[in-house]
Structure 1
Amino acid sequence: MSLDNTQSIVEDSPITSELIQKYEKLFTLTPEKMRSIVDAFVETLKRGLEQYGQVVPMIPAFVFGWPTGEETGDYLALDLGGTNLRVCLVTLSGGGKFDIKQKKYRLTEEQKQMEGSLLFDFCADSLSAFLESAQAEGTIKAGAELPMGFTFSYPCQQDRIDHGILIRWTKGFGNPNVEGFDVTQLFADSLKKHNVPVSLTALVNDTTGALIASHYTNPRTRIGVILGTGCNAAYAERVGNIPKMKDLGIPDDTLMSINCEWGAFDSFEHKHLPRTKYDEIIDLTSNKPHEQAFEKCISGRYLGEIFRLVMKELIDEGVIFLGKDTSKLNEEYCFDTAYLSTMESDMTPELLTIVSVFSQHYKIETTLAERQFFKALANLIGTRSARLASCGMAAIVKKLDILDEGCSIGIDGSLYDMYPGFKERIHEGLTDIFGEKGKNVVTHHAEDGSGLGSAIIAAMTKTRKDKGFFTNL
């Protein structure tokens, strides 16, 4: 949405139509460009299925088939996410029904960088406190050892459901002595240290959990996507289409959940994504340069920072905030992506909500022209994010060859759930890519993958008799 579609810039403003067109050109994705991204994405997905060690690793999750909807019992789920640590008690009642009790613990930036063992000690201690409270309330019996799904939303190489070696941290984490180690063992050591009575049954990526949980309540679901602090996707692939697993002896027609870790698409190569200089600055100043290129253009962690970098450029050029103290905008990541959502939602003639964003958080008075520009810029950045996300979804649909029959995609995360118009922009992107057939692909809010999905996978695992590669068959 350009300013031409909303309000016109007030007269005598340094913000000109030429300036607006500059940013429209930088952040707008044409249908032709989107289709070329999709084609490159499909080839990247195939390479990840063929060989280990690829940039987009296409990690087998060792979750086989779909849930029946009749799983029952009490299960724990612990979710180490990008913003919060969440502990859940999930009661599956059968018939697709469930109940969740949960508690969240905010993660500090210090905790995201502390020694790895201390991070898992914090997880174990939080779980212990949750269990003590649940026992005191009579929700669970004292001393009961419940099966638990551990939702660990970072790329891990798995060779079974209860084991995973961390490939790399994402979402700003950098805890030492975790990459290259089995995270389930690290967590198990902390659970033992804190005498926490649980059975660590399954290691689950939140995107895989979203896929399984969404299929549990909507069997048309074929793809699960996370669009929040980070971004990722999962889907079910026939083992016969995963050449790197051919030596494991799993029947070709078996369905295996694949954790794509698609946030790494176009990392190192930088041939396909239309990266701006702001994307490049974010990449090079991040704790993981040259990694997660796709995620850095899309996810909620980075959109606010892209916006801030544009503002800093315009401040330096003397276009905005003339004579104002802008020192509060010098801090990296000080401009929250939620502010973009707030600005796009402002429908007042004078854009008074945007006035509040800058006056309350940065002590800066704004002109109407500046506020009009900021709303349009937020729209450009948010729309690019949604359209790039639709490219990733379209690539999986094309890889599975299910466009004609159609499917539903379960999506979770703050961008999809809370950013105004994000869902509609995804659908517009799918139509721009596929034409009218793009309407065969619908999206819905994913059921709680890190809680419900993790518990369902723990239940699926618990009910299987085999303990080898066929844990979930």
Structure 2
Amino acid sequence: MAQYRSSLLLPEDRLLKIRDDFIKEAQAGLRGENSSCLMMASMMDVLPNGEETGDFFAVDIGGTNFRVILVSLSESRGEVARFEMEDFAIPEEYFSCHADRLFDLLADSLVSFAKRHGFSGKKTAPVGFCFSFPVNQTAVDAGTMIKLTKKFDNEGFVGCDPVQMLQQAIQRFKAPFKVVALLNDSVGTLAGACYEDPNAKVGVILGTGTNACYVEQVAKIGTLAKGATSRPRMVVNTEWGNFTAASLPITQADREMDETTPNAGEYHFEKMVSGMYMGEVARRIILQLAEDAQLFGPSVPDELRVPWALSTPALSKIAEDDSWVLSGTAQILADDLHLPASRCTYSACSTVKEVCLMVSRRSAALVAACLAGLLRHIGRDGSHGGMQATTVAVDGGLFEHFDAYRGFLRDYLDLLLTPEVSAMVQLKRIRDASSMGSAYLAAAVTASPE
């Protein structure tokens, strides 16, 4: 266990090195130089401020489901008068059909949803489109699809403009909607916070995957075409999941897991941080302990060798297990890994819990280090004089459902920032962030003069 403690429980000086390496990569990406952080200009140069009014729709797709929402913003600043939302499962055939059919599904669902909720259609309604796939964004309402991800394998997707595709589908239904904003989930999270909190400057996704965006000075975005905007600030999508540096604590378990993934050799940071991978990293460490230290007796249970058998939700329950003699952990090992009760001794369960805690702490520590780097880069860590109140908007199941994780993240931020600065940084959970943020951005874009 000693080797895992030294590689997973990161001291302050190591985290500060990671922070500084992240800043270097981020700044190189902004200049357009070779960098593991793409630092993509989102073209979102206006954010909601709570003064928007009217009815706005949003379509949010990024996985096996999609969502349609209606938001009515009242005359009272920052107040939502009405909120309607429906989730739709994507039928299996739509993951491989032509892209036109998938966009028809989205448009049909939007039109039907609007009718169910009394939308008169007397005037054209603005729509925000959260499209969480790799896109080269060229305008607030335009971009080019770079590649397919997740389980999608649709012809006609790559190279298309998602806004045009959705707008054309809406026109086929002769419906009064106009798609006015294109964004991803991290930008939506930030926008969702900005509507009610003027101190929101950073948006973070901590769920199955991870990403972050923030408000940057346009003059610092070297990749932005001259004259692309007349406004002084724009949201930058860091794509920090791909952050790589020699200072990152990549273990043998990480390397072995990475080799089994479709994007081997990429997204090292995401694979040490996000919910998709944490359980599997822990399983591999537990397996190694079973082989080297006879954690579960003289033989290694076959069930422990099954890849991805330990989920991150199970890891979180083990990490938070306060039951008598860790009976909760023993039950999870029995349910998820099918380990016989006779093998789940208190000693074994105690070691398993420690592994889960260390993997969780490492994730929180790495996020805190990069977040501290982002705050330093934008002058929000007190290093450039007076400190301003700063809100970091966060969405994702890892942050929402894993209580201990939120505590770890706060603790590591407190460690890396001075007490006075840390007290001014708020981590704020934003509910239904990408969907709400999409509608808010549609409102902001509509309200903003060209």
* TM bucket normalised to smaller: 0.7 to 0.9
Q: Distance in 2 between the 1:308 and 1:434 partners?
A: 32
Give yes or no for contact 1:155–1:168 (8 Å, CA) kept in 2.
yes
Residues 45-194 of structure 1: pairs in structure 2 closer than 5 A = 45-51=26-32, 54-82=35-63, 84-94=65-75, 95-98=77-80, 99-106=82-89, 114-115=95-96, 117=98, 121-122=101-102, 124-125=104-105, 128-129=108-109, 131-136=111-116, 138-141=117-120, 145-168=124-147, 172-173=150-151, 175=153, 178-188=157-167, 191=170
1:454 equivalent in alignment to 2:438: yes
Where 1:121 maps in the other structure, the secondary structure is helix
Residues 453-472 of structure 1: pairs in structure 2 closer than 5 A = 453-466=437-450
Q: Which residue number corresponds to residue 395 of structure 1?
A: 373
Q: CA deviation at 1:130?
A: 5.5
Q: CA deviation at 1:77?
A: 1.6
Q: Which residue number corresponds to residue 334 of structure 1?
A: 309
Q: CA deviation at 1:328?
A: 4.5
Q: 1:320 to 1:105 in 2, by over 3 A?
A: farther
Q: Deviations over 1:313-341 (max 9, x none)?
A: 33444724448894444443332111111
Q: Which residue number corresponds to residue 346 of structure 1?
A: 321
Give the AA of the match of 2:370: G
Where 1:45 maps in the other structure, the secondary structure is helix
Q: Distance in 1 between the 2:17 and 2:227 partners?
A: 35
Q: CA deviation at 1:384?
A: 0.6
Q: Deviations over 1:83-123 (max 9, x none)?
A: 64222222222411124322224569x789x43735x7346
Give the AA of the match of 1:438: S
Q: Distance in 2 between the 1:135 and 1:219 partners?
A: 34
Where 2:259 maps in the other structure, the secondary structure is helix
**Which of 417, 434, 445 does residue 434 from structure 1 map onto?**
417
1:296 equivalent in alignment to 2:271: yes
Q: Distance in 2 between the 1:277 and 1:325 partners?
A: 19
Q: Which residue number corresponds to residue 207 of structure 2?
A: 228
Q: Deviations over 1:240-293 (max 9, x none)?
A: 122222622644x61111111111111xxx423111112222222211122212
Give yes or no for contact 1:304–1:337 (8 Å, CA) kept in 2.
yes
Q: CA deviation at 1:35?
A: 0.6
Residues 316-327 of structure 1: pairs in structure 2 closer than 5 A = 316-317=291-292, 319-322=294-297, 326-327=301-302
Count of matched residue pairs: 438
Greater mean deviation of Cα atoms: 64-73 or 121-130: 121-130
Give the AA of the match of 2:358: L
Q: Distance in 2 between the 1:115 and 1:53 partners?
A: 34
Q: Which residue number corresponds to residue 200 of structure 1?
A: 179
1:386 equivalent in alignment to 2:361: no
Structure 2, unaligned runs of 5 or more: none
Structure 1, unaligned runs of 5 or more: 1-19, 467-473
Give yes or no for contact 1:430–1:439 (8 Å, CA) kept in 2.
no
Where 2:37 maps in the other structure, the secondary structure is coil
Give the AA of the match of 1:146: A
Where 1:247 maps in the other structure, the secondary structure is coil
Q: Distance in 2 between the 1:130 and 1:181 partners?
A: 21
Q: CA deviation at 1:135?
A: 1.8
Greater mean deviation of Cα atoms: 49-58 or 298-307: 49-58
Give the AA of the match of 1:282: M
Q: Which residue number corresponds to residue 15 of structure 2?
A: 34
Q: Which residue number corresponds to residue 427 of structure 2?
A: 443
Where 1:256 maps in the other structure, the secondary structure is strand
Give the AA of the match of 2:412: G
The TM-score with structure 2 as length reference comes to 0.87
Give yes or no for contact 2:124–2:178 (8 Å, CA) kept in 1.
yes
Q: 1:260 to 1:344 in 2, by over 3 A?
A: same
1:375 equivalent in alignment to 2:377: no
1:21 equivalent in alignment to 2:2: yes
Greater mean deviation of Cα atoms: 447-456 or 45-54: 45-54
Q: Which residue number corresponds to residue 25 of structure 2?
A: 44
Where 1:63 maps in the other structure, the secondary structure is coil
Q: 1:116 to 1:242 in 2, by over 3 A?
A: farther
Give the AA of the match of 2:181: A
**Which of 225, 249, 257 does residue 274 from structure 1 map onto?**
249
**Same amino acid, percent of matched pairs:** 26
Q: CA deviation at 1:228?
A: 0.7
Q: Distance in 2 between the 1:316 and 1:186 partners?
A: 53
Q: In angstroms, what is the RMSD of aligned CA positions?
A: 2.9
Q: Distance in 2 between the 1:353 and 1:194 partners?
A: 53
Give yes or no for contact 1:59–1:258 (8 Å, CA) kept in 2.
yes
Q: CA deviation at 1:153?
A: 2.3
Q: 1:342 to 1:163 in 2, by over 3 A?
A: same
Q: Deviations over 1:143-169 (max 9, x none)?
A: 875322111223422110112223455
Greater mean deviation of Cα atoms: 230-239 or 310-319: 310-319
